[in-house]
Structure 1
Amino acid sequence: MPELPEVHGYKTYIDSTSLHQRIIALDCRDSRLLKQSKSYFETQLINHEFKSTHRIGKYLFVETTSEKVLVIHFGMTGRPNYYKSESDRPKFGHIQLSFENGYHFAFENKRKFGWWDLTDSISNFKADHKLSDDARDLSLENFKVSVSARKTDIKKIIMDQSVAAGVGNWMADEILYQSRIHPTRRVDQMTSEEIESVFDAMKKVIEVAIENDAHYRDFPEDFLMHFRKEGETCFHTGAEIEKIKVGGRTTYFSPEWQKK
């Protein structure tokens, strides 16, 4: 699933291809992908332009010249695609905008878990969906305040979008590996220094992932993503990586490196 670094890349892509162009048509092959009616989307988007993009966690907000902000959630397999010829429309480009310059913008969405919505403002959407500040912008003070009110496993907490918007499953595993914290460690039993180490690891993982365009193969050799598989070998200890379930999510960790 696209997480913060991947969505950051999508933001950069849209910024470089699709801003300041008049939209002349919208085609949607599956109305379930639109949170409002197709006609309402047409009213708010056709004859308007994308002005700018903003990201909070896994959500991408596109400000338009209309009164509404387009909200894009990429689900499991969503991604943007900008192209010239209608014949180049991707197989799973279920939503397509056409621009006056002859180019098109498709929302690829193979498994159809992604969606589009329209909102009055980014701040309203953030409040309604209980999103924290984006994890990249989150302060240590706010992180500690959010975490201190919880009494469950640290992995569950850092994946909570009201705590650290943008952190998903692979990022949570990597953050805890980098900070040497066991994924089932209860937060109310952690020291302030341990919580700060998780925060620092979160910032490190985000920046490394963005710097490398979320291409895991380019991450530093001591990153879990290179051996995030049951039975693989921990970079630091040589012990086998284990797999468990935490909060219903498949979780990989090194039992020797991340001792409970």
Structure 2
Amino acid sequence: MPEIGEVARVVHFLRKHCANKVISTIQVQEDNIVYGKVGTSATAFQKAFTGKKILDAKQQGKYFWLEMEGKQHPVMHLGMTGWVRFRNDTTTHYYGSKNDKNEPQEWPPRFWKFILQLDNDSNQEVAFVDARRLARIRVVEAEAKDLRNTTPLKENGPDPVIDKDILTEAWLEEKLKSKKVPVKALMLDQANISGIGNWVADEILYQARIHPEQYSYTFSSAQISALHKAMMEVCGTAVEVLSDSSRFPETWLMRYRWDKGKKDKNVLPNGDKIVHLKVGGRTSAIVPRVQKKTGKVAEDVESADEVSEGAADSQEEPTPKKTKAQPKTTKSKKTETTTKDEVAKEDSKPKRTRTTKRRAESDEEDGGSAVKEEEAEDTKPGKKRQTKKSQADTKKAAKSKVEDAPAEEGSRRRSGRLSGKGV
């Protein structure tokens, strides 16, 4: 997903190619998700900005907007796969091919949502694209200077790059102490801090030597200081180099974290192993040797420090430790508590093996005579299925014996059941 650095790249090229130019025409494709989910439409977007001049492009975290003349401005979010493409520039994407400059560009690009033509020049066209339709395009009405005090920007936390005067070490400490969530989950919540996504959070936590599962309120002042320093440096560098990974420091985890599932690949140059686990529903890359837990963690997640060597090699999420199950004990108790009446009702069911086993255990001291007698009975014809007449005779005999000796009802009924087997 495009994060603070990738969005800074979009803003850079929008400013470069669009600032101080007039939108002469707008092509739109109606989309009731990309536009409709945030209360506007492609038609409303087209009507609002056709013929208007673009003054600037700006950003707050993962949101960006075009500052227009007048009181209406397009505020956009790239979602998972959204991007902005330029007809006269093929180098704008952060993971573009090395041969982009020599490859003809498809235009209009696939999955476009709107195309702006600038200054009546067909070569100066800008397209917003999104394959998965998780991006959002809004028309926000406000003075340009008040945009950040308007929905959706006002619901988001401070940006680590443009709001350094707000996101101070003291502010971060207060925020961490006020929550009881894994620190990574807190960082990913845009209501707390704008612009930090999955890879940026992992990089910050690695640089600060902090485990992502540890609860936010458990950190010492020294750890919070390290976290704040790493946050400022990682976000600042990502924005400064426009998310060009070739310009990231060699010491960054970002350079080595993408080989999940490839054996012997997830290692740093110094040999430290990179392990993947899930925190807050997101896959996290950590280095267990340096990212140790020093406080409480969520009970429903397993530590990467406890991941076996095999699990680490496969890069699969570690299986939670199983509680000791006792299926055999349960089954045994159920058998032992079966009532004698229930035993009588099971006369017609050929549970020969279980009965033989119980008889063998009870008569073991007699040299196994009961087992031999029962095995002999098992060879007699008519063993597997009793006729209605034989069943009636068996029940009659059992009833007669019970009436003769009511004090031994349980044992007589059991004896009658077994004696009926040979009928």
With normalisation by structure 2, the TM-score equals 0.57
Distance in structure 2 (CA, Å) of the matches to 1:13 and 1:128: 21
Match of 1:93 among 112, 125, 131: 112
Paired with 1:235 and 1:125, the residues of 2 have a C-alpha distance of 46
Distance verdict in 2 for CA 1:127–1:147, change over 3 Å = farther
- After superposing the two structures, state which structure 1 stretch, 168-177 or 14-23, moved more: 14-23
Q: Percent identity?
A: 28
> In structure 2, how many angstroms separate the alpha carbons of the residues matched to 1:29 and 1:53?
23
- The answer for the alignment partner of 2:176 in structure 1 is 147
Q: Distance in 2 between matches of 1:161 and 1:2?
A: 14
What is the CA-CA distance between 1:239 and the residue it aligns to? 3.1
- Relative to structure 2, which stretch is displaced further, 157-166 or 122-131? 122-131
Higher helix share: 2
Alignment of 1:124-203 (within 5 A): 124-125=149-150, 130-136=155-161, 137-138=163-164, 139-140=167-168, 141-203=170-232
- 1:113 equivalent in alignment to 2:138: no
* 1:187 CA displacement: 1.3
Of 76, 81, 101, the match for 1:77: 81
Partner secondary structure for residue 233 of structure 1: coil
The amino acid across from 1:154 in the alignment is: V
The match for 2:239 is 210
- For the 8 Å contact 2:2–2:78, the answer to whether it is kept is yes
Q: 1:123 aligns with which of 133, 148, 158?
A: 148
User: How far off its partner does 1:214 sit?
Assistant: 1.0
Aligned to 1:249: 282
Instruction: Evaluate the alpha carbon distance shift between residue 46 and residue 172 of structure 1 in structure 2; reply closer, same or farther with a 3 A threshold.
Output: same
Residues 17-36 of structure 1: matches in 2 within 5 Å?
Answer: 17-32=17-32, 33-34=34-35, 35=38, 36=40
**Distance across 2 between alignment mates of 1:52 and 1:100:** 16
**Most deviating of 122-131 and 105-114:** 122-131
Q: Hey, what's the Cα distance between the residues in 2 that align with 1:128 and 1:106? A: 23
Does the residue aligned with 2:113 lie in a helix, a strand or coil? strand
Contact 1:143/1:164 (8 A) holds in 2? no
SS of the aligned residue for 1:26 comes to: strand
Greater share of strand residues, 1 or 2?
1
- The residue matched to 1:66 in structure 2 has which SS? coil
CA shift, 1:149, in A, is 0.9
2:268 corresponds to 1:234: yes
CA contact (8 A) 1:45 1:66 kept: no
1:71 maps to amino acid: V
Residue of structure 1 in register with 2:5 after alignment: 5
Q: In 2, Cα distance between the equivalents of 1:38 and 1:113?
A: 15
Is residue 275–residue 287 contact of structure 2 (8 Å, CA) maintained in 1? yes
Q: Which of these two proteins has the greater Rg computed from alpha carbons? A: 2
Letter of the structure 2 residue corresponding to residue 220 of structure 1: P
Cα deviation 1:105-125 (Å, max 9, x = unaligned):
101222222121011242233
**Contact (CA 8 Å) 1:143, 1:163: kept in 2 or not?**
no
> Alignment partner of 2:55: what SS?
strand
Point out where structure 2 has 5 or more consecutive residues left out of the alignment. Answer: 89-104, 294-423
Cα distance per residue 1:123-176 (max 9 Å; x no partner): 233566521121212421332232221111111111111221000000000000
How many residues align? The count is 259
Distance 2:58 2:106 in 1: 30
* Secondary structure of the corresponding residue to residue 255 of structure 1: coil
- Give the aligned residue type for 2:193: A
| Alpha-carbon displacement from aligned partner over 1:49-108 (angstroms, at most 9, x marks no partner) | 111122110000211113112101111122222225x97322233311122331211012
Give the letter for the 1:44 counterpart: A
Residues 202-211 or 239-248, more deviating: 202-211
CA 1:177–1:126 in 2, change beyond 3 Å: closer, same or farther?
farther
User: Contact between 2:26 and 2:115, CA under 8 Å: does it hold in 1?
Assistant: yes
Deviation at 1:235, TM superposition (A): 4.4
Distance 1:87 1:7, change over 3 A: closer
Structure 1 segments (4+ residues) deviating >6 Å: none
Segment of structure 1 superposing worse, 63-72 or 168-177 = 63-72
User: Tell me, what secondary structure is at the counterpart of 1:22?
Assistant: strand
